[in-house]
Chains A and B, each alone.
Chain A
């Protein structure tokens, strides 16, 4: 099977290299399908309990490399496959306008295939060296994908920012792996298990934290998130979709894998993850609200959702630590299901944003409006995604958030005073995240798709704006409908997915002896009820809709302009803007936010042209990245005299270097000789 796959891979690469730019995409689509098919063929049985394990003996230079696909890997591989497939189908149509950039496209599609393969490898290898190499391949290929439009300065800058930060992530991972390898002499993951069982629990916890920071940078936990809101908006939309949908999830996979491997104090790491996650969640959504670039807004929402997943993991770990089986089950199940859910709705939302970008050529939501008339499909899909990401029933987001809520409320019953305060804190955090997400997505959806076009060119206020906006082609909408259909399916039949999650969650619980006397609540049974409640809800809406239709049949239905409270010359400029929608919120949350204002005051008696500009910025990024960079730059200033543009001086530096390379060892030697001589005296 491996040979067959390698042959297909080789021919696909050759085909992409030499094909016409229109067919390159097609080859990539088929290759992603083949990869998904092969990996899915192994992953599906693994998910229901038949682990796949092989040992590649004696590979050079790694020695024996063990490859194991257990239920956890299988779950992630399947999540990755689905979004990679929707991404490549969407991307094939999305890339049509760029058909003239042939070499760029070749690189793009090759990176896409490489990214897919490296993601799957990361999920399946059990060897630290191969893991790190796959991780590097993943980071590099994702970088290549992000900087597709590298001729734009912003894109390149954001891409390099991402590249550097992902290498900081690799640094922390290497630190952890090498530490274990030095202690045990093996790069195999089993060494980590043995090592952490031999050492005191505290050592395991510290080891875990090193890995956690590494993976958290990838996943985008606050305060390690600063690359994310830059990299996602500049990438082509299908890349933003898969970056947000699956690439950052690989960080989540890493954290979960380490929870499995390392024998640590689960309660402590649970608390740490929980705190970081609540903070990420609230911070992510709090900043998302003030963003006026649609893709940047979505990027901040990724941070929020990573926070929700993290809350689930934290609850799960605390469940393991306190031997509370139900809490562990609900926490991990919620986290894993939310991983799938987020990969679906976030990619869907990014694809919708891509459609908007392609038809309007802007991402600034203040310039958009009324797109629902020209792009009804995109609007509907964005609406579905928005409802799901807010965690509203009957869609999928509700199911995973419900599980996590269940875990927290279950914790309530067995908690002592200190943990009760943390429970309250978690509930407040999760509720606030939910509420702010609704606030944010009502803003995003209504400003982009509803009302009238806000851009200055069409301020006359008629409903038909410039007319250049139009719906995307079938193949661009098809993968979006695929994701939406799966989302609705999860919302209506959650039990199917919960059954699939039993095995992955069982992995976490395998080593723990649970306390059977703790109070239990039947949140898992509740989901069977929610099955038919959701279906009933949809039927009920349809019934009311039918009655409304029936009643309105015989009525006079008129169409008039919007009621302007007596004002009869409305223009589209009069509409509420995104900025005004969030104004009260911005005033309230001011201490947390950082908004740069640029305005000119009106002077004189007759008003002249006024100018007012706001740029939301990230406080944490300023404190953690910008200020240290300025400090470093200040130190560098001291040495600026060295770089003075005189060739002669540079040659001098070279001579000094060569001379010192030769002289310093000689000097040291003679120094040693003198020392010896003095010793003999």
Chain B
């Protein structure tokens, strides 16, 4: 329950901070931190335009996309408090329920019959597929390390052993940050502020969404960022008491958002054809974590 509330709060300001960081680093005044939320609210009040090519898939897809992320958020714990849903193997459920949302966002883009949206859909499908192994290996390594297979079990017992786990935590942070960037279609993979449809991934998929649906998709993006931020925070919080854990949570979310902003300000987007290599590299980092876990457990004789 606590994690849900915290994620909701974090999602309110997360994207705002990214935008603010980008505006400061490029010397602009920039909008306020709550501008993204206001944008969504404005969209919720607007009417919609639907393409005449689309079918019921296009109508239901934003709803399923939103629900899948909301459902995934429910299994995310916070330190030593469980998520609303917690069971052994819940991270498998987490990944698959997110994949369901992705499935619908892809077919809704294809539903418009637009060549641009098809292009985005194809890329999104491929990239998110390549990011998946990294996540599973990461969670597998932590499962091996802690002897638990639920988010709650893993995160609450991660640091009970040695301090080396913090080193693993830092590597895991890198993996999770990059997965978050891929899943949210942010900078090294995709440029959300590009002005050419040909070079977009996520933005081009939602070209035809408007009104309430677009608001739903945007707010899903915010929630997703906060959700990954919470996973990262969980890597460090562990058994901390709530008094320290909650400020630490907000600090980590803040640092995550600022670093996303900085990455986006100072990095160019990768060439599309180089993205898969980059994402494969991510899997190798999680394999490194796996080897680290093996070292910690003394499996190498």
Contacts and interface: CB of A to CB of B under 8 A. Distances in A.
B123 interface: yes
Interface stretch (B87-95, B180-188, B227-235, B236-244): B87-95
A247 B173 CA distance: 47
B35 interface: no
Contacts, number: 247
A355 B287 CA distance: 45
Interface string B22-66: 000000000000000000000010111111111111001011101
A402 interface: yes
A541 interface: yes
B223 interface: no
Contact of B111 (A392, A435, A450, A584): A450
B51 A559 contact: yes
Interface string B138-164: 001001100111000000000000000
Interface residues of B, number: 81
B78 interface: no
Interface string B155-197: 0000000000000000000000000000000000000000001
B161 to A, nearest CB: 15
A572 B110 contact: no
B52 A438 contact: no
A391 B53 contact: no
Contacts of B115: 574-576
Contacts of B111: 446, 450-451
Interface in A554-578: 555-565, 570, 572, 574-576
A460 to B, nearest CB: 13
B290 interface: yes
Given A450-B111, A450-B113, A562-B53, A576 B119 contact: yes
A263 to B, nearest CB: 31
A491 B272 CA distance: 38
Nearest to B85: A533
A556 B50 CA distance: 11
A658 interface: no
A434 B132 contact: yes
A557 B268 CA distance: 39
A541 B118 contact: no
Contacts of B64: 541
Contact of B99 (A390, A559, A564): A390
Contacts of A519: 147
Contacts of B96: 391-393, 398, 401-402, 434
B47 A405 contact: no
A439 B130 CA distance: 11
Interface stretch (A301-309, A482-490, A523-531): A523-531
Given A562-B114, A584-B126, A557 B48 contact: yes
B113 A558 contact: no
B110 A447 contact: yes
Nearest to B277: A588
A409 to B, nearest CB: 5
B140 A442 contact: no
Given A416-B299, A572-B113, A439 B88 contact: no
Nearest to B106: A442
Interface string A534-564: 0001001100110010011001111111111
Contact of A428 (B50, B60, B103, B133): B133
Interface stretch (B6-14, B206-214, B245-253, B258-266): B206-214
B106 to A, nearest CB: 4
Given A537-B97, A555-B47, A584-B123, A392 B103 contact: yes
Given A398-B96, A575-B115, A544 B110 contact: no
Given A402-B93, A416-B299, A438-B125, A558 B137 contact: no
Given A432-B133, A533-B85, A560 B119 contact: no
Contact of A544 (B67, B90, B112, B132): B67
A559 B50 contact: yes
Best-buried of A417, A435, A522, A583 by chain B (most CB within 10 Å): A435
B63 A390 contact: no
Interface string B274-285: 001000000100
Given A438-B102, A537-B67, A576-B110, A529 B123 contact: no
B255 interface: no
Best-buried of A428, A441, A541, A548 by chain B (most CB within 10 Å): A548
A406 interface: yes
A376 B49 CA distance: 22
Contacts of A587: 273
A42 interface: no
A466 interface: no
A242 to B, nearest CB: 27
Nearest to B97: A393
Interface string A438-465: 1101110111001110000000000100
A585 B122 CA distance: 9
Contact of A372 (B57, B93, B119, B212): B57
A393 B93 contact: yes
Contacts of A441: 103
A168 interface: no
B1 interface: no
B129 A439 contact: yes
Interface stretch (A226-234, A251-259, A419-427): A419-427
Contacts of B71: 533, 537, 540
13 contacts: A383-B57, A392-B96, A439-B126, A450-B57, A525-B88, A529-B85, A530-B93, A533-B71, A541-B67, A557-B48, A565-B116, A576-B118, A581-B121
Interface of B: 44, 46-57, 60, 62-64, 66-67, 70-71, 85, 87-90, 92-93, 96-97, 99-100, 102-103, 106-107, 110-119, 121-123, 125-126, 128-130, 132-133, 136-137, 140, 143-144, 147-149, 197, 207-208, 211-213, 216, 272-273, 276, 283, 287, 290, 294, 299-301
Given A523-B88, A537-B97, 15 more contacts: A427-B137, A428-B283, A431-B133, A439-B125, A442-B107, A446-B111, A452-B113, A525-B88, A526-B88, A533-B71, A548-B212, A556-B48, A560-B50, A563-B207, A580-B118
